[in-house]
C-alpha cells in the first residue's frame, strides 16, 4: 500500500495561512485551512477507490490531534510530525510511514485543494512499479506539491533552499545524484498568497480551470467557504486590492 500523507497544520487564527492575511482576516484564513484539509482528505479517499492507497495527516503543532479528529474522516490516520525545519518534517513523516509497513509514501502539501485525484493515482501507480524511484509534482512557484518514494533518502531533504524557487530543481538534482529515476507529475499551483487565491476562485467558482484535466476535483468544502466569503464579505474586491498593493497584475 502507498501511504499518502498531507503535511498539515491545525487551524489557529493568526498562526495559520498568514500569507493570506490580507486579503483574508486571520479567522477566515484559519477556516480556509480547515476546508483545504477536508478536501485533501476527500481527494485521498477518492484516489483510494482506484489504487492501493491509505490516507494520513502528518500534523503539527504537537498536541493538536483533537483538531484533526474533529474535522477529518476516521479513516484518515494521524501522525505527529514536529521538527525544526521543513526538510526534517518531511523526512520524519516518510520514515514513520515506511517503518509502519507501507510499501511507498507520498507527502503532499495542504495548499492545493483542487489537485486532481488522477495525479495521486498516478503517483501511487508509479511507485508500485519495480525499481527504486521518486515521484515529484512540481508547483508553479518552483517547489513541489508532492514527493513520493519507496525508501527513505535523507539527502533529498538536506541542504535544500526551502521556500524558494530552487526547491524542485535542487531535489531533482539530488535524486539524480543518488541514481534515482524521477517520475514527474504535471505542474499544479499552491494557494499561499493572494495570486494563488485568485486562481482558486477562478477555478472553483468561475469555471476557469487551471489546467484541462478531464474530471475536475470538486473541492466541495473549499467551494462552500469561498462562496460564503464572496457573498457576505466582498472577497473579489479584497483580492484585487491585495494584489494591486503587492504589485501583481
User: How many domains does the chain contain in total?
Assistant: 1
User: Is 211 within a domain?
Assistant: no
User: Is 16 within a domain?
Assistant: yes
The Cα–Cα gap between 106 and 3 comes to 6
Name beta bridge partners: 9: 60
Residue 246 has pLDDT above 70, yes or no: no
pLDDT score of 172: 98
* Domain around 124: 2-192
pLDDT digits (tens, 9 = 90+) for 61-111: 999 999 999 999 999 999 999 888 999 999 999 999 999 999 999 999 999
pLDDT score of 239: 83
User: Is 153 within a domain?
Assistant: yes
| Sheet containing 133-138: order of strands | 77-80, 53-60, 2-9, 104-108, 144-149, 133-138, 181-184
Cis peptide preceding 23, ω within 30 of 0:
yes
pLDDT score of 238: 85
pLDDT score of 245: 61
Mean pLDDT value across the chain: 94
Rounded to 10°, the helix 26-47/220-233 angle is: 160
User: Is 126 within a domain?
Assistant: yes
User: Is 19 within a domain?
Assistant: yes
User: Which cell is 50 given?
Assistant: 482506484
For residue 147, the domain's CATH number is 3.90.550.10
Residues 6 or more apart from 43 whose CB is under 8 A from it? Answer: 113, 115, 117, 120, 217
pLDDT score of 87: 96
Amino acid at each position: 500500500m502507498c501511504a499518502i500523507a498531507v503535511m498539515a497544520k491545525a487551524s489557529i487564527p493568526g498562526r495559520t495561512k498568514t500569507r493570506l492575511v490580507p486579503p483574508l482576516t486571520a479567522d477566515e484564513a484559519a477556516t480556509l485551512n480547515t476546508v483545504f484539509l477536508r478536501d485533501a482528505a476527500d481527494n485521498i479517499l477518492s484516489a483510494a477507490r482506484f489504487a492501493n492507497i491509505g490516507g494520513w495527516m502528518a500534523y503539527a503543532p504537537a498536541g493538536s490531534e483533537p483538531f484533526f479528529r474533529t474535522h477529518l474522516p476516521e479513516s484518515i490516520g494521524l501522525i505527529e510530525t514536529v521538527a525544526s525545519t521543513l526538510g526534517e518534517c518531511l523526512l520524519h513523516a516518510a520514515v514513520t510511514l515506511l517503518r509502519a509497513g507501507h510499501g511507498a509514501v507520498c507527502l503532499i502539501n495542504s495548499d492545493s485543494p483542487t489537485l486532481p485525484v488522477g495525479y495521486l493515482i498516478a503517483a501511487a501507480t508509479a511507485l508500485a512499479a519495480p525499481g527504486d524511484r521518486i515521484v515529484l509534482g512540481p508547483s508553479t512557484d518552483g517547489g513541489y506539491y508532492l514527493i513520493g518514494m519507496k525508501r527513505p533518502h535523507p539527502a533529498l531533504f538536506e541542504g535544500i533552499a526551502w521556500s524558494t524557487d530552487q526547491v524542485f530543481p535542487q531535489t531533482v538534482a539530488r535524486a539524480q545524484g543518488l541514481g534515482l529515476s524521477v517520475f514527474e507529475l504535471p505542474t499544479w499551483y499552491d494557494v499561499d498568497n493572494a495570486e494563488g487565491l485568485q486562481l482558486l476562485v477562478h477555478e472553483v467558482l468561475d469555471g476557469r480551470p487551471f489546467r484541462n484535466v478531464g474530471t475536475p476535483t470538486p473541492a466541495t468544502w473549499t467551494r462552500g467557504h469561498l462562496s460564503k466569503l464572496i457573498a457576505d464579505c466582498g472577497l473579489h474586491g479584497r483580492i484585487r486590492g491585495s494584489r494591486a498593493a503587492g504589485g501583481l497584475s
